[in-house]
Amino acid sequence: MTEMSRIEDQLRRAFEGDAWHGPALKEILSEVTAQKAAIKPIRGLHSIWEIVLHLTAWMQVVRRRLEGEVVADLPPEEDWPAVRDTGKQAWTKCFEDLEGSYRDLRQKISLMEAARLDETVSGKGYTVYVMLHGAVQHNLYHAGQIALLKKAR
């Protein structure tokens, strides 16, 4: 197994399943309804819906950076987009967008040469290797939050 396939596998496990730690992001979200996603059971914390929008945005940022685009940190309205419609169709689209950003990132990783792992990300002080592992860690961090939010109500 190559280093690139290992990283891609870790992203897959964190998102789709068969993760060492337990349920992956998609598994945790599988039974979340639009109503459940929109509520804020703990004052001052983000809703599941907001977290999913945030995860989607950051997987897109990582993919764009892999494509060579210089992407600064996101402004607050893009980092944590507002939920404007809490209907069932909007939640379905939100989840589809999350899956799409994941698939696009995974595809990009699968086409990369391992030599790129030591490159510094344009405009940043860290390597592609660190960024890719960070994307996996970011998904798992927020998956844990979502798991707790599901139990909070």
Per-residue pLDDT of the chain (153 residues; tens, 9 = 90+): 899 999 999 999 999 999 998 999 999 999 999 999 999 999 999 999 999 999 999 999 999 999 999 998 999 999 999 999 999 999 999 999 999 999 999 999 999 999 999 999 999 999 999 999 999 999 999 999 999 999 986
Residue 23 φ/ψ, nearest 5 degrees:
-65, 140
pLDDT of amino acid 152:
87
Candidates 35, 7, 49; CA nearest to 145 is: 49
How many alpha carbons fall within 13 Å on the CB side of residue 108?
Answer: 21
Is the separation of the CB atoms in 106 and 5 below 8 Å?
no
Instruction: Return the structure tokens found at 32.
Output: 């979340």
Q: To which residue do tokens 């798992």 refer?
A: 140
pLDDT of amino acid 153:
64
Is CATH 3.20.20.70 the right assignment for the domain spanning 3-151? no
